[in-house]
Amino acid sequence: MIGLPEEELRRRHPSSASKTSSNGSSASNGAGVTRKLSFAQMRKEESAKGPCEKIVHRPQDSLFSSSSGWTNYRGFFNLAMLLLIVSNGRVALENLIKYGILISPIQWMSFMLEEASIWNWPNFAMVLLSNTTIIVVFLMEKVLEKGYLSNYFAAVFYSILIPAHLAIPAVFTLVLKGNPLCSVCALSVFVVESLKLVSYIHVNYWCRCARLDKAIETKKKDDAARHEMSPPEMASLYPASLNLCNLYYFMFAPTLCYELRFPRSVRRRKIFLIKRFTELVFLSFLIAALVQQWIVPIVHNSMRPLNEMEFGRSLERLLKLAIPNIVIWLIGFYTLFHAMLNFVAEILKFADREFYRDFWNSETIQYFWRTWNIPVHRWAARHIYFPMMRNKYNKFSAMIVVFFVSAFFHEYLVSIPLHMFRLWAYYGMMAQIPLSLITDYVVKGGRAGNVIVWLSLIVGQPLAILMYFHDWQFSYCIVVVFLKTWGLRARLFTSGKLRFVMISMYKTSFKDQTYFLYWLPDPKVLGVCNGINEVYELAVSEKQRAEFVNVSETILSSVWSESMSKKLFTISSVLCNSHCTISFTTKRTFVLNVNHDLSRLAFIMEEMLKCIESFIVEKNQQKLLKAKKTVPEVPVKRRKVPKKAIEWDED
């Protein structure tokens, strides 16, 4: 290598040995001789030589040059992992310092016992009633197997039944307004059942066609069905497979594609079941803890930049939300597709455990959607994509229909539990079509394609979360006044539109003089008036309010409302026609300046009268409702008045 001319060395390419070497130090010279010594061994040999024999300079490339053949960058990988751990550790420490410990297992248990209990109406009742559709489909297939009804009638009947199976629980969810999380779980059951029933209906139709020796050639072209079994085999198994045991096994099995004969494992592995169950429980609680501690504060703090349309701060909040979102998404993926589905498959002895493939190496959007959710991909290919291809549709049209169906179900599982239709999930799924064209034909896969796939997950999901939470908070934040012993406190009601924002006020005193301390949420003004001729006000920001009550901005609204309702703000000094000082239990103070505008006092008193009037109207409406619901009194025959007076005991 020492005698090689420089021009030949510059043209040298790394050998296969240099690429596969564990230490990355071997290289090939011009004569084809492979150097096997590491740099440490070479330095040891050089140190053994005399001063005159040591060679200082030789023709060689820098290690970062592609022609050097150097492939060992493990140190940089370790550095990247260390930086990732340190940066996330800093974020976690900052979160704990800023917000404290927000994780509350007591709230989890309360939610599980109250909202997520099996007695929670209407979600649990709807899941139980979903068996009605399953029984109806089974009875219909029995009738069709006997030949009493035609396939055309079955197609019309199922075209009404399956959409009704999805529409009825949606209507109940919208009307009864249960907990959104429980509603998502209940509606997910209906979506899975609908997909399974479609597969069950299709396969039984193919079996009837095989038994009647019809449409066999068409079915053979279906790539999703040809690997299952031959038509004679299908026809021989079909009547016997039509039973409730087989149907309910399929309804509980971790697959969406029905088969007459599923692959079964020999036994149940107890250690495997314990591992998967432990992972399922632990990771579920971990996700809940991360959401409560990490996601909720970021989302709450992102609402103000979104409301004020501050692009820079909104982008910063979006990127801040991206990291915990992708972490929770990966944990959720492992929990669902590995722990939960393997646990169910092991109980049912279901042998096909390919629930996902290497989606993390996806270089195109299409490959990602084909590999990250294998049960859904198999169902879409078997019952949508290949049937459309058989009917002379092109691949692009079939792909659009598949994405449209997926977008519909995404929006179905988000908009209905939240009781609002913003279509962000639908738009996000349909945006995958142009993105897939970019990764397929513009970028053409490779490392850049993999980066685009990960960027779509890192940025797209947090953006949808912020949009839905912003719209949900705006749609359901209605402020109504509650009057109690001269205290007016804000209370949230769920309604369609923002009607009015009333004042929050309570009565206090200073040096035997009556004052009214009030809070105007829009604009954010804290004030004091005596109801006659004095008004003191101060515009305060969220940061100033948080410092005043000594809490984080995340829980500021609840603490501030509670402080107003409990009358924790007190007047410590009043200098007539100059300023007023308000103090809190934290020894912090606000100095309110006098407002000489007399119309301001009239406005404050008018707002207070509106509060009282609204409260009276609300109370009267409640009394009317109670009067309508009361049971009419049954007339009781009174006893005759005794002639002698009754002596009453004063006690």
89 pLDDT tier (thresholds 50, 70, 90): confident
Residue 197 pLDDT > 90: yes
Does residue 343 fall inside a structural domain?
Answer: no
State the DSSP string of 117-144.
STT-TTHHHHHHHTHHHHHHHHHHHHHH
Mean pLDDT of 339-364: 90
Mean pLDDT over all residues of the chain? Answer: 76
Q: Are residues 192 and 60 in the same domain?
A: no
Mean pLDDT of 466-489: 50
- The pLDDT score that the predictor gives to residue 632 is 52
- The pLDDT score that the predictor gives to residue 6 is 44
State the DSSP string of 265-276.
-SS--HHHHHHH
191 pLDDT tier (thresholds 50, 70, 90): very high
Does residue 338 fall inside a structural domain?
Answer: no
Does residue 342 fall inside a structural domain?
Answer: no
Residue 32 pLDDT > 70: no
Q: Are residues 32 and 140 in the same domain?
A: no
Does residue 268 fall inside a structural domain?
Answer: no
- The pLDDT score that the predictor gives to residue 517 is 86
Q: Are residues 248 and 107 in the same domain?
A: yes
Does residue 568 fall inside a structural domain?
Answer: yes
- The pLDDT score that the predictor gives to residue 282 is 92
Contacts of 41 (CB under 8 A, 6+ apart): none
| Contact (Cβ atoms closer than 8 angstroms) between residue 298 and residue 320 | yes
Q: Are residues 179 and 43 in the same domain?
A: no
Give the Cα separation of 296 and 99 in Å (integer): 11
pLDDT in tens, 217-229: 544 445 444 445 5
* Nearest residue to 528 (alpha-carbon basis) of 513, 514, 539, 518: 518
Sheet with strand 570-575: strands edge to edge? 478-484, 487-493, 504-510, 513-520, 525-529, 535-539, 589-594, 579-583, 570-575
Number of domains in the chain: 3
Give the Cα separation of 355 and 333 in Å (integer): 11
Q: Has 579 been annotated as catalytic?
A: no
pLDDT in tens, 509-567: 888 788 888 888 767 888 888 777 788 888 888 888 888 888 877 778 778 887 887 78
Query: Which range is least confidently modeled, 301-315, 398-412, 587-601?
Result: 301-315
Q: Are residues 140 and 32 in the same domain?
A: no
Q: Are residues 51 and 109 in the same domain?
A: no
Q: Are residues 231 and 107 in the same domain?
A: yes
Residue 24 pLDDT > 50: no
Of 46, 68, 90, the last residue of a domain is 68
- The pLDDT score that the predictor gives to residue 277 is 93
Does residue 464 fall inside a structural domain?
Answer: no
7 pLDDT tier (thresholds 50, 70, 90): very low
342 pLDDT tier (thresholds 50, 70, 90): very high
Q: Which of 54-68, 467-481, 571-585 has the highest mean pLDDT?
A: 571-585
Does residue 255 fall inside a structural domain?
Answer: yes
* Nearest residue to 178 (alpha-carbon basis) of 110, 114, 108: 114
Q: Are residues 130 and 238 in the same domain?
A: yes
Options 300, 338, 410, 419, the catalytic residue: 410
Q: Are residues 108 and 63 in the same domain?
A: no
Does residue 45 fall inside a structural domain?
Answer: yes
Residue 219 domain boundaries: 103-262
Q: Apex CA 323: angle with CA 318 and CA 328, to 5°?
A: 115
Of 227, 262, 297, the last residue of a domain is 262
Q: Are residues 130 and 232 in the same domain?
A: yes
Q: Are residues 61 and 125 in the same domain?
A: no
Q: For residue 571, what is the enclosing H or E element?
A: strand 570-575
- Number of helices and strands (H, E) in the chain? 27, 9
Burial of 431 (0-12, 13-18, 19+ CB in 10 A): middle
Query: Which range is least confidently modeled, 164-173, 202-211, 475-484?
Result: 475-484
| Contact (Cβ atoms closer than 8 angstroms) between residue 365 and residue 435 | yes
Residue 573 pLDDT > 60: yes
Q: Are residues 33 and 115 in the same domain?
A: no
